[in-house]
Amino acid sequence: MAQDHYAILGVDAKASADEIKRAYRRLALATHPDRHPDDPVAEERFRQISAAYAILSDPAKRARYDTTRHLPEAFTGGQEMNLQTAKDLLSAVFGDVLGRQRRQRKRGRDIRYTLTVDFAEAVLGTEKEIVFEALGACSTCGGTGEKAGGRGPETCGLCGGRGEIKGEGFFAPWTPCGRCSGMGLIHQDPCKDCRGRGARRESRSFRVRIPPGTEGGAQRVVKGQGEPGYFGGEPGNLLVTINVRDDPWLRRDGHDIHCELPLSLGEAARGGKIPVPSVSGSVNVEIPPGVTTGARLRLRGKGVPQERGRPGDQIVTIALETPRLDALGPRGGAARDAYEALLTELEKLETEHPKLLPRRASQRDKG
């Protein structure tokens, strides 16, 4: 047998529409999930009551149900109702019976700002002043939106203070009220300077601290420095997203900083102190004689600071830079000739003294 909707509502099969409605209201309020949180039995009972009323409150559906209710459920097309649909049905029939949340106070919107800092500033930390245009509390009304001595806001007559309006039909969605813009209140005597908004555009500035080790994409939150709230609602926040400029020589990998160090043939052969870029400026690094491309030097503690523990390191990778004679151009003939003469002399010395380039000499001998 199909579910007996009359029995679920506790009414006779000949009950009037008003009797059915009164029974539904009493039972729905008694079993509403808002009054019985985390109670699956009450929730299931609430759904059954709502499904029964959805059938019996519609004359056409009720008539069809009356002719089939004694048949097996497989022949009746019995329907189930989810929880949200059941709640919407109760609100559609009786309105704000459970004190639907008012929207009279609304939090202000967050302000978003992107702050770009240099690579070294992000690693070492810094403090920056930002200046921007945004809504701030109206100085005339103090952010209330009301003119001095005004009558104060009144409840919106269109939505009854809900801030939302229910569409036609049992399952139509709630939409923001167009008269009060979803606030539930309307100013009777709005401030003329801000037109009741309680806010006006102004130039604002803040100092933002960038802690050491900040990565690109990190966000700093300045509480309460967003746009003012509506009708006494709390202000939003200022959300500052950090953008880090790329450095031409340095890149970050976790808490380590990597740097490629180009060396000439002479610098690589002789070694010695060579200036290396770092986040704290140029530092002289001792390069061992005869260093080759790909060799790595570790500068301990020259990486990214950590809140706890020692800083990371700076890794310097050697890259021998081969001279490009073609870069001298057509007017560089004399310089090119002089350089080629030096290279010829160098090759002669390298051939006469194979210990200068032992790996090359070993390979050439095998050839």
Domain range summary for the chain, segments of one domain joined by +: 5-94, 109-139+198-246, 250-320, 333-366
Residue 98 has pLDDT above 80, yes or no: no
Name the phi and psi angles at 126, rounded to 5. -160, 180
Q: What is the CATH number of domain 5-94?
A: 1.10.287.110
Determine whether domain 109-139+198-246 maps to CATH 2.60.260.20: yes
Axis crossing angle, helix 40-56 with helix 17-31, rounded to the nearest 10: 160
Per-residue pLDDT of 348-366, as tens digits, reads: 888 888 888 888 777 777 6
Residue 14: burial class (beta carbons within 10 Å; 0-12, 13-18, 19+): exposed
Domains 109-139+198-246 and 250-320 share a fold: yes
pLDDT interval class at 96 (50, 70, 90): low
Residue 102 has pLDDT above 50, yes or no: no
How is domain 250-320 classified at the architecture level of CATH?
Sandwich (2.60)
Q: Which two tokens stand for residue 322?
A: 């081969």
pLDDT interval class at 33 (50, 70, 90): confident
Cβ atoms 224, 233 nearer than 8 A: no
Asked which of 56-60, 167-171, 203-207, 333-337 is least confident by mean pLDDT, the reply is 167-171
Q: Which residues pair with 186 in a beta bridge?
A: 154
Q: Which of 243, 314, 317, 242 is nearest to 281 (CA)?
A: 314
With 0.75 as the threshold, say if the pTM is over it.
no
